[in-house]
Chain A
């Protein structure tokens, strides 16, 4: 029970952080991605702040426990997936975290985006499951699995 409360609290703090950071504003995301126009670097500070805190805290935490570690190589699913995700991010202005938080706004675009995102995730995972059960996948090809994030 305490574990579930910790997870709920982590989600709550994460979501408030996204709001404070400006990540719930698609126009701000578009400004950050507008390198060749009126570039707004603000959201770069969000990533910098998050990495500074997490990289430091991680170092202290991991002296105690060792979590899943992705030691995999850069492969084509990673590259294609990241490329497709970036196109969707530039187009809609939401990445998955803000998409989840924004459902609480109960606005049509936010709900539609979330629904389509979930459908896309389940579709891809289903496709992968089918692909995995058909021909034998080479060992190691799926080992990095979900460890990335």
Chain B
């Protein structure tokens, strides 16, 4: 087991607090759940342009954060997987989050925060299959 340093823990807690704060701001200003898979999908859902403007602005903020981080703290980016793995993994994440109605943020943060049984179950399931996948990759001798 890796023992995280105090700095690692503080950064994780602080980053998590910002995520919780942002989700709260989105809930307060728009009454919407800041689950990224749901927000992303709502960009393409039927509806008028005004309905899509809010999720579009939120997604724009995420990309803006990516640009800011790229300039100010490029070390926060780690290396991604190989191209084939990225394509397969991305497709699974896309299909799975829509079928299961949520992801790490929608179920893991927002859903658990409101005590939703569905979200608690979903979070336990995706962490379990994620762990099983990492275990399988290790058994196959592929580093994840």
Contact = CB atoms under 8 A, between A and B. Distances in A.
Query: Taking chain A's interface residues, is the majority helix, strand, or loop, or is none over half, making it mixed?
Result: helix
Interface in A58-81: 58, 61, 65, 67-70, 72-74, 77-81
Contact of A102 (B16, B54, B77, B122): B77
Contacts of B11: 20-22
Contacts of B33: 67-68, 147-149
Best-surrounded residue of A35, A36, A46, A93 (most CB of chain B within 10 A): A46
Contact of A121 (B40, B68, B107, B117): B40
Query: Taking chain B's interface residues, is the majority helix, strand, or loop, or is none over half, making it mixed?
Result: helix
A137 to B, nearest CB: 15
Interface residues of A, number: 115
Which interface class (under 10, 10 to 19, 20 to 34, 35 or more) fits B?
Answer: 35 or more
Interface in B61-88: 61-70, 73, 76-83, 85-88
B129 A83 contact: yes
Interface of B: 1-2, 4, 8-9, 11-38, 40-42, 44-45, 53-55, 57-70, 73, 76-83, 85-114, 116-119, 121-123, 125-135, 137-138, 144
26 contacts: A7-B55, A12-B62, A17-B17, A21-B14, A21-B16, A27-B144, A35-B131, A36-B131, A38-B2, A39-B1, A42-B8, A54-B19, A61-B28, A82-B100, A82-B122, A92-B81, A92-B93, A97-B62, A113-B90, A116-B94, A117-B91, A121-B37, A123-B95, A148-B107, A149-B33, A149-B35
